[in-house]
């Protein structure tokens, strides 16, 4: 395991916790983040990890829900060349349950061309995206945990000035935990400490 110091982070005022490397900085200390999101970024590697709480999309079936959200994300970001590389089956998270009903979890991994901020398509980076959908049906919430790992940085992208253009250097070469492992850790350690965050009555 590469040297990368992991620590438990308090999310949404401590109502939720998740563990991931300390190199990921809380973006809310720099800019405003919507209340339903927690965003963390490692500026040195242009990698990011986002936790999002949204109303349960009851019309989206559990099977393949992460892939559905991945495609939705691609549309939202005006991404090009989106490919779903792999998707999991549906499994239950027995450690994450409300009133004895465990969360239903699916994951998907994709690749897409995304521009930073307001930059145009000519500045798109090729990014690998890991997405987990934790369905908390008893409290009517879809949790999305999304990790972004740049694969190829466009010379025109604003990212090029900080991480350099071209193929991204593998995390292990920097002594960092690979993004796939960061994602797995963040998802597996995700814990709800206070269900009243969702308006639930204990």
Is 27:37 a contact under the CB 8 Å cutoff? no
Mean residue pLDDT across the chain: 86
pLDDT band at 195 (very low <50, low <70, confident <90, very high): very high
Q: What is the pLDDT of residues 99-145, one digit of tens each?
A: 888 999 999 999 887 766 565 565 576 789 999 999 999 999 999 99
pLDDT band at 201 (very low <50, low <70, confident <90, very high): low
Q: Tell me the C-alpha distance between 106 and 97, whole Å.
A: 15
Burial 67-78 (b: 16+ CB within 10 A, else e): bbbbbebbeebe
* C-alpha 70 chain-centroid distance: 10
- pTM for the structure as a whole: 0.89
Which CATH code, of 3.40.640.10, 3.40.50.300, 3.40.1000.10, 3.40.50.10540, is assigned to 6-198? Answer: 3.40.1000.10
Beta strands 47-55; 141-153: pairing state: antiparallel
């Amino acid at each position: 395991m590469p040297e990368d110091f992991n620590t438990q982070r308090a999310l949404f005022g401590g109502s939720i916790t998740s563990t991931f490397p300390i190199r990921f900085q809380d973006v809310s200390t720099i800019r405003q983040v919507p209340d339903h999101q927690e965003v963390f970024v490692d500026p040195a590697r242009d990698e990011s990890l986002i936790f999002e709480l949204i109303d349960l999309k009851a019309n989206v079936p559990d099977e393949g829900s992460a892939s559905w959200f991945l495609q939705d994300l691609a549309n939202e970001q005006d991404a090009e060349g989106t490919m779903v590389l792999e998707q999991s089956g549906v499994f239950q998270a027995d450690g994450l349950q409300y009133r004895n009903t465990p969360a239903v979890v699916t994951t998907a991994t994709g690749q897409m061309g995304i521009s930073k901020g307001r930059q145009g398509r000519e500045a798109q980076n090729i990014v690998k995206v890991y997405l987990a959908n934790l369905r908390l049906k008893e409290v009517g919430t879809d949790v999305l945990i999304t990790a972004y790992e740049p694969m190829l940085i466009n010379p025109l992208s604003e990212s090029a000035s900080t991480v350099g253009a071209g193929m991204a250097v593998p995390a292990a070469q920097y002594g960092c935990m690979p993004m796939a492992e960061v994602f797995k850790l963040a998802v597996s350690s995700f814990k709800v400490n206070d269900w009243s965050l969702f308006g639930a009555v204990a």
